[in-house]
Amino acid sequence: MTTTAKVRAKGLASTGMTEELATKLYHQPGGRIMAIVELKVDETHEKADGDQKVDFVITELEPVVDGKLNGQIDEHVRDLQRVLYENRLRLEAGDDQLPLDEQGPGVEGLIQQGKAFTVVPG
């Protein structure tokens, strides 16, 4: 038995992917943009042979737009993604922690670094 998954296409209404941002990205073929997304399990399917399939839809999408910060938030989100990836690999391998000489800032360190990007109402 295998389980496969896919993320289905969704319109971008009510997301941070605006027409202006889409136009900017149109002029950057092959370009990339970091984003934070939320996925919802929309449908599940089971075939006669026991294989399973899960379809996800994007319910929230917020592209990382740095403005005057020159890529700082983009790099912060990329670092957070890297830490989550490394943690997932360690958990899948049954490990709890990286050796001390391989540890980066970790999730808590990245959260503290991210506070620099918080807009305080004033």
Residue 10 lies in a domain: yes
Q: How many structural domains comprise the chain?
A: 2
Residue 122 lies in a domain: no
Closest to 53 in 3D by CA, of 4, 7, 6, 8 = 4
Where does the pLDDT of residue 36 fall: very low under 50, low under 70, confident under 90, or very high at 90 and above? Answer: very high
Residue that wins the pLDDT comparison between 69 and 46: 46
Residue that wins the pLDDT comparison between 44 and 74: 44
Q: Which domain holds residue 80?
A: 66-117
Residues 33 and 52 in one domain: yes
Residues 59 and 79 in one domain: no
Paired strand residues for 21: none
In the numeric block, which tokens belong to residue 99? 């050796």
Examine the fold and report which residue of 63, 78, 109 is the final residue of a domain before the chain moves on: 63
How far CA 122 is from CA of 67, 84, 114, in Å, comes to 20, 33, 19
pTM for this model (two decimals): 0.68
